[in-house]
Amino acid sequence: MMLEGKKILLGVCGSIASYKSATLTRLLVKAGANVKVIMTKDASHFVSPLTFSTLSKSPVLSSYFKEDTGEWNSHVELGLWADLMLIAPASANTIAKFAHGICDNLLTATYLSAKCPIYFAPAMDLDMWQHPSTKQNVAILGNYGNIQINPGYGELASGLTGEGRMAEPEDIIRFLETSLSTSLPLSGKRALVTAGPTYEAIDPVRFIGNHSSGKMGFAIAEELAKQGADVTLISGPSALELKGKRIRRINVISSDEMAEAVEKHFPESNIAVMSAAVADYKPKYVSTEKIKKDSSEFGMELVKTTDILARAGQMKQAGQILIGFALETQNEEANAIKKLEKKNLDFIVLNSLNDEGAGFKGDTNKITIIDRYLNTERFPLKTKEDVAIDICKKITGLI
């Protein structure tokens, strides 16, 4: 979901519609958002701050100072903290203050400090909504770049029927998700990511494998999804769980299974990041029974596995972006460049086992990105989540 992990400031104004904001808070939290609620003084007459603090799992903010400690609730820090600010309900009074820069409470001060996208859901009676001053103030907010969530039509608190009802909480959630998804750099793009090891069977209980955990590939899949891509993750054996609910996961075991899955899904992908540590060789013959330990020596004939990255490079069409990985121990950059050119990649991500903190299983990595024009960018040791951000920035640059 697009709201997962988002830091959201929810402003609640004095309005009978503020009861809907309690449901809205619950839905935002359910969607995975981190919510902080700012209430105006009048809003607390309609719904108790305790309701919002319980639903948001965070103290409600309503004044410049915390009453119990006297500490300052910094509107500047709040404005910088948020990924988006949502005012629901937005009363005619608060809309007018926003439009004309009146800063007489914590909500209006935070609004003026916010650097994030701002959404507002008006709620007022029919005559107030239709008044020329309200229309002018709403237009001003639109010119500021604020995004209006249109009010609904129906029975109002006065008994009149018409426009002015705050949009329903479920509709607001859908509006936000649609707005966020279409504004992301990879919106509408389909991405394929491979991750983890492959296990090549020797007999029913033994296999040839490697130490890959899949952490790097999983982090890349998560970041691509955050940037709006529709992600398919093909994962070898891994105990990792995905956080993003919008990622489709396909579990495989062997290199043959991974090759088959890539062959199926690569043609429909705009972006493919091949980060899996695929076995280079597999047993030529697989025993149907467990091999007994009858002698002090044991021989096995191996054959090459399908070169999945090379096959993708052959299948690649104009407009597709293909990224490979190179884990090296010697002549790192020369070997990476050879792989980059041979396999028709747009760029290659190089990491070396000689770098402390890089490689399999750990939570950090140190990479160098080399593109098809041999431009080289070296990065310091970072968490794999931050490395994924660097890789995805490079991808969005190519897009």
Q: Which residues are annotated as a binding site?
A: 280, 290, 325, 339, 343
Contact between 104 and 26 (Cβ < 8 Å): no
Rounded distance between C-alpha atoms, residue 93 and residue 128, angstroms: 10
Tell me the CA distances in angstroms from 229 to 136, 243, 396, one per residue in order.
38, 15, 11
The closest alpha carbon to 189, from 217, 226, 231, 242, belongs to 231
Is 150 a catalytic site residue? Answer: no
Q: What angle in degrees, to the nearest 10, is found between the helix axes of 106-113 and 92-100? A: 40
Q: How many whole angstroms separate alpha carbon 106 and alpha carbon 183?
A: 29
Q: Name the percent of the chain in helix, strand, coil, to the closest 5.
A: 35, 25, 40
Q: How far apart are the first and last CA of the chain?
A: 23
Is 70 buried (19+), middle (13-18) or exposed (0-12) by CB count in 10 A?
A: exposed
> Who contacts 191 (Cβ-Cβ below 8 Å, separation ≥6)?
221, 224, 229, 230, 231, 232, 269, 270, 271, 272, 273
Give the list of residues 6+ apart from residue 65 with CB closer than 8 angstroms, or none: 71, 72, 73
Residue 14 near residue 49 (C-beta atoms within 8 A): no
Residues 136/143, Cβ–Cβ less than 8 Å: no
CA gap 256, 103 in Å, rounded: 64
For the annotated binding site for CTP, the residues are 280, 290, 325, 339, 343
**Active-site residue identified among 73, 93, 210, 335:** 210
Query: Nearest CA to 4 among 22, 37, 28, 21?
Result: 28
- 231-266: buried (b, 16+ CB within 10 Å) or exposed (e) per residue? bbbbbbbbebebebebbebbebbbbebbbebbeebb
Which positions are annotated as active-site residues? 210
